[in-house]
Amino acid sequence: MTLFGLEITLDLILYTGAFGLIVIGAAGIVLAHHLFRVILALAIAEAGANLLLVLSGYRWDAIAPILSGSESAAPMVDPVPQAMVLTAIVIGVGVQALAVGLAMQVKKTYGTLDMSAIRQRLEADIAGTAGIATTGSQDAPLGERPLPPADAVPVTPGSSAR
Partner 1 sequence: MNQIVLIVVLPLLAAFLVPIVARMSASLGAALGPLVMGVCLWITGTVAIESAGNAFAINIGGFMPPLGITFFVDRLALLFAFLTALLVLVLWPFQGEHRPREHALTLILAAASGGLALSGDLFNIYVFYELVSVASFGLVATGRRSSAPAIRYLILSGFGSVLALVGIALVYTQTGTLNLAHLSQLAPTHLINPIGLAAFALILLGVGVKAELFPVNTWVPEVYATAPNRVSALLAGLVSKLAALVILRLLVLVFAQEQALLVMLLLGLLGVITGELAAWRAQDMNRMLAYSSIGQLGMVFVAFSIPGETGVFAGLAIALHHLVVKPALFLLAARWGGALSGLAGAAGGNLPAALLFTLFALSLVGVPPLPGFWAKLLLVMGLAEQVGPLYHFALAGILIATVVEANYLFRIVSTLFHRDSPASPAPQKHSGGDIATAGLFGASLIAAVLLLIPLSQSLKTIAQQTADAAAYRAVVTLAPTTSTLGDTQ
Partner 2 sequence: MRNLASLLFAGGLGFLLMVFGLQFDFGNAPMLVGQAIQSAAPEQVGAANIVTAVVLGYRGIDTLGELAILFAASTAVGLILGHRHTSTKPDPDSGLILRAGGELLMPLLLVVGLYIILHGHLTPGGGFQGGVILAAAFFIPVLARPSTPLKHTGMMLIEGFSGAAFILIGLAALYSGGEFLQPLLDKGTLGNLVSAGTLPLLYLAVGLKVGAELAGLLAHLAAAEVSES
Residues of this chain that interact with partner 2 (CB under 8 A) are 10-12, 14-16, 18-20, 22-23, 26-27, 30-31, 55-60, 64-69, 72, 76-80, 82-84, 86-87, 90-91, 93-95, 97-98, 100-102, 104-105, 107-108, 150-151
Instruction: List CB contacts of 19: < 8 A, sequence separation 6 or more.
Output: 48, 52
Q: How far is the CB of 139 from partner 2 (least distance, A)?
A: 22
> Where do contacts with partner 1 occur on this chain (CB under 8 A)?
22, 25-26, 29, 35, 38-39, 42, 45-46, 48-50, 52-53, 55-57, 78, 80-81, 84, 87-88, 91, 94-95, 98-99, 102-103, 105-106, 108-110, 118-119, 121-122, 125-127, 129-132, 145, 147, 150
Q: Do the beta carbons of residue 110 and residue 121 sit within 8 Å? A: yes
Residue closer to partner 1 by CB (options 1, 147) is: 147
Q: What phi and psi values does residue 13 have, to the nearest 5 degrees?
A: -60, -45
**CB burial of residue 54 (10 Å; 0-12, 13-18, 19+):** buried
SS3 category, 76: strand
Q: How far is the CB of 25 from partner 1 (least distance, A)?
A: 7
Q: How far is the CB of 6 from partner 2 (least distance, A)?
A: 10
Q: How far is the CB of 131 from partner 2 (least distance, A)?
A: 27
Burial annotation 122-157 (CB, 10 A radius, 16+ → b, else e): eebbebbeeeeeeeebebbeeeeeeeeeeeeeebee
Partner interacting with residue 129 (select from partner 1, partner 2, none; CB below 5-8 Å by kind): partner 1
**HSE-up of 113 (CA within 13 Å, CB side)?**
15
